[in-house]
Amino acid sequence: MPKVTSKVLINAPFETVWALAHNVEEFPRIMPDLDKVLVLEKNEVTPQNTRVVTEWHGKIRQFNRSIVWTEEDIWNREKGECHFWQLKGDFTEYKGVWKFSSQGDATELDLEVNYSFEIPLIGALMKSVLQKLMQSNADMMSGALKAEGERLARG
């Protein structure tokens, strides 16, 4: 299964970045490839663990198509991680992990996404294009969280 990763140092405290990442309904405001994100369920499993089910509506401009998926996220504050996976949707497979670690006054964000997206009659060239698009999307998400986290940290 193809994988993309993105790592960025955000000049904002862990608490700021953690809270920003939890606020997925606002992602379309900072990410142009997202139309909307809906929170369908949110449960505090323990004081350190939250389970969230969300529905994501995005677009793949290069393929002139919309993409929709529902994912389950398990946020573990103690470990500074969020594991996620698709419950249903347009990906054949979609899962990954966000890792947040405090680096003094900054926060390191490490994103890994494993995916499979089957389009009928897709060839090797198109799979390479899709890999680049997924990498670009991961980098855009990390970059958007960095920019917004740093803006919030400046006040």
For the segment 84-113, what is each residue's pLDDT rounded down to a tens digit?
Answer: 999 999 899 999 999 999 999 999 999 999
Q: Residues near 128 by Cβ (< 8 Å), separated by ≥ 6?
A: none
Burial class from Cβ neighbours inside 10 Å (0-12, 13-18, 19+) for residue 124 reads exposed
- Residue 67's domain comprises 3-154
As a whole number of angstroms, the distance between CA 95 and CA 82 comes to 11
Structural domain tally of the chain? Answer: 1
Tokens 């419950």 locate to: 87
CA distances from 141 to 32, 45, 122, 125, 149 (A): 10, 26, 26, 24, 12
Domain of residue 118, CATH code: 3.30.530.20
**Interval 142-152: pLDDT, tens:** 999 999 999 99
pTM to 2 decimals?
0.90
